[in-house]
Amino acid sequence: MAKRSAIGALASAKTKKEFADELSSFTTLTAEEIQTLFPKKSDREELMELIKIVNSDARDKEKKAKLAEKIGKVSGAVITIGKKFVTGL
């Protein structure tokens, strides 16, 4: 695997920050919390998929069906958020 250049690392960090800022506008999580909880691109993609389901205009029954259909794609995000909000157990 090729070594990352300094400019590539800076660009990656900026992209992650911008993405976290955008995602935080859909949640009660801050951009910093999103970056900490979802450090990898695949983690953030799972979170975005989950947010799309939750924030859709569909009724709750339809959202539950969509979540059941996509649980394999969003399960990591569900567990991470669950751990964040269910502390002390």
pLDDT digits (tens, 9 = 90+) for 62-71: 999 999 999 9
pLDDT, tens digit (0-9, with 9 covering 90-100), for 4-42: 777 777 767 777 777 677 766 767 778 888 888 999 989
| Alpha carbons 48 and 77: distance in angstroms, whole number | 9
**Token pair listed for 71:** 């649980």
**pLDDT the model gives residue 67:** 94
The mean pLDDT value of the chain amounts to 83
28 vs 53, higher pLDDT: 53
Per the listing, tokens 């920050």 go with 17
**Token pair listed for 61:** 């029954």
User: Which residues are CB-neighbours of 37 under 8 A, at least 6 positions away?
Assistant: 29, 43, 80, 81, 84
**pLDDT the model gives residue 21:** 72
The pTM of the whole model exceeds 0.85: no
